[in-house]
Chains A and B, each alone.
Chain A
Amino acid sequence: MSDINTQRRQFIKTSVGAAAIAIAPGMMLYATAHGKSEGASSKVRWGMLVDTTQCTPDCNDCVTACNKENGLSGGTKATDSQWIRKIEIKDVRTGVAHSLPMMCQHCEHPPCVDVCPTQASFKRADGIVLVDRHLCIGCRYCMMACPYKARSFVHETLEDQNPDVPRGKGTVEACSLCVHRIDKGQIPACAEACKNKAILFGDLNDANSEIYKKVRTVASDQIRADLQLNTGIRYQGL
């Protein structure tokens, strides 16, 4: 073996070693930083399956629970915030009636995000559609764009908000799928409060979750499926 080749091998060995030493602490720091609090993951798609056959017209428990959890007044005037509301639908020909809760449908392709001029409306990696109130200028384009009338505007000054749910005058808000509860590993307040177990919450991407299995075995619909928004909230029995 020639003298030049030996030197060359030695040089490559040293360089690789030096590079490893230089990169290792960075990699370790990265791992530590991400081990602490990883945040929302794009592997997850949070969703709900609402069984309208189990939802009764006189029950308002999901709405009450939502209002309490998020500190809403509970009023139903045009100027009051409503994150979830009960609606009754009836087929005029057959007379079949359904009662169901309506809220932000957490679309995969949300029109509210498309129209937002400040990027305050956004979709989190795990599919939850939210308003970043730090950026919201209160223009209400998103309220007009939403096919589900799911968003509300805060008209009055608020006090004593829930520390987990900051909300204030001049900004738009909507169902956050109780994001503060989800991040703690809990389920949304409405799903927990439903005594008929009509609201099933879970990860639509997790093959072991109940919701994953159920949407693949029973017929369920998206409201205004023709818009192809691929909503995270689905309804069974419509």
Chain B
Amino acid sequence: MRLLATLLLCMSFSVAWATEANTPKLDIGKGGECVRDTQWMRKNHMHLLKHQRDETVRKGVRDEQVSLKNCVECHASKSDNSVVAREDSFCAGCHRYEAVKIDCFECHASKRRAALAKKDEQ
């Protein structure tokens, strides 16, 4: 019994250590919990985005809270205003780790509106 307990303890340590060591360290920008908790969002953000994209494009229902534009406004890096520019950027970091290609930003702006406006003036 004691052996089993020790074994379990060792395994849980190693799992914890592995998770800590390998998960990407993200530049989360402003961060915060605006829609749902972090773990839920990690698992389900794509469903929210996909649902909202159809609502917005086809029906004109614009919900600020779950719009991709709004996600970028908060989660873009504070140093380069982007969610995909670097390896640790908010979107790119995780998607690289999970090996899931995102094509959102081939059309959608990946930078904060303020950063784009500044570029226009130059």
Contact = CB atoms under 8 A, between A and B. Distances in A.
Determine the interface band of chain B, counting residues with CB < 8 A from chain A: 20 to 34
Nearest to A119: B58
B65 to A, nearest CB: 10
Interface in A200-228: none
Interface string A166-204: 111101000000010001000000000000000000000
B106 A125 contact: no
Nearest to B72: A163
Interface in A136-173: 157-158, 160-164, 166-169, 171
Question: Is the contact region of chain B dominated by helix, strand, or loop, or is it mixed?
Answer: helix
Contact of B109 (A36, A125, A132, A160): A160
Interface stretch (A37-45, A85-93, A108-116): A37-45
B116 A160 contact: yes
Question: Is the contact region of chain A dominated by helix, strand, or loop, or is it mixed?
Answer: loop
A183 B62 contact: yes
Determine the interface band of chain A, counting residues with CB < 8 A from chain B: 20 to 34
B80 interface: no
Interface of B: 53-55, 57-63, 69, 72, 106-109, 111, 113, 116, 119
Given A37-B63, A163-B108, 14 more contacts: A39-B55, A39-B60, A40-B60, A122-B58, A124-B60, A132-B57, A134-B57, A158-B107, A161-B108, A161-B109, A163-B69, A166-B109, A167-B107, A171-B107
